[in-house]
A and B are shown apart, each in its own frame.
Chain A
Amino acid sequence: AQKVTQAQTEISVVEKEDVTLDCVYETRDTTYYLFWYKQPPSGELVFLIRRNSFDEQNEISGRYSWNFQKSTSSFNFTITASQVVDSAVYFCALSPLIGAQKLVFGQGTRLTINP
């Protein structure tokens, strides 16, 4: 069975602080994808990143960075110099690489950036 755990239900920081959102996953698949999505107050789901299980390189995109560690089954997301526009709910998700490729989502972390 697959499971994604986002232990941080809510995080609140002051603008310009760095913040890390944790994601821990469980799967019996040897190959899989990991995803992060952003859900702003408007409600849509915005795709942020997809990683393959065989690619453990960290990824940086502007103020966003992701740390994938297979040894600890974690795929953490860091926002550097946070901004008010980063306020949203962030979801981590997991799917197998082959087959029906169903996404399993974590419960989400609500991030609030205060001015």
Chain B
Amino acid sequence: NAGVTQTPKFRILKIGQSMTLQCAQDMNHNYMYWYRQDPGMGLKLIYYSVGAGITDKGEVPNGYNVSRSTTEDFPLRLELAAPSQTSVYFCASRARDVFFGPGTRLTVL
């Protein structure tokens, strides 16, 4: 099992650009999550999904969109990137235990 994989590992965006952060899991988990971690802070929930075709907003959804067309994949879309979106993004999936991907470090300049 690869667990939870995320691509890319690092990315630098210019203000106003868009990008998609990819997340995939091979554990057949229904629940998947996107979190962001700002420097020196805990993790904040952006969006989550309880199964294919079902997504909902978390604590900090503004500026982001998600889709969940399959159980395995849960991409996060950033439209019109802003400096405030500079952060490390973690994808996670769970049965009872929660497994995190390695993270994507995003800088918006």
Which residue numbers of A lie inside 8 Å of B, CB to CB?
33, 35, 37, 43-45, 47, 50, 91, 93, 95, 100-108
Chain B interface residue count, CB cutoff 8 Å, equals 24
Contacts of A101 in B (CB 8 A): 31, 94
A43's nearest neighbour on chain B, judged by CB, is: B103
**When A43-B88, A43-B103, A45-B90 are in contact, do A102 and B45 touch as well, CB less than 8 Å?**
yes
Q: In the assembly, what is the distance between CA of A35 and CA of B100, in Å?
A: 13
Q: Can you identify 26 A-B contacts, CB atoms within 8 angstroms?
A: A35-B98, A37-B100, A43-B88, A43-B102, A43-B105, A44-B103, A45-B90, A45-B100, A45-B103, A47-B97, A47-B100, A50-B96, A91-B42, A91-B43, A93-B98, A95-B98, A100-B50, A101-B94, A102-B33, A103-B33, A103-B43, A105-B35, A105-B43, A105-B44, A107-B42, A108-B41
Chain A proximity mask over B27-60: 1 for CB below 8 Å, otherwise 0: 0000101010000011111001010000010100
B: which residues have CB within 8 A of A?
A: 31, 33, 35, 41-45, 48, 50, 56, 58, 88, 90, 92, 94, 96-100, 102-103, 105
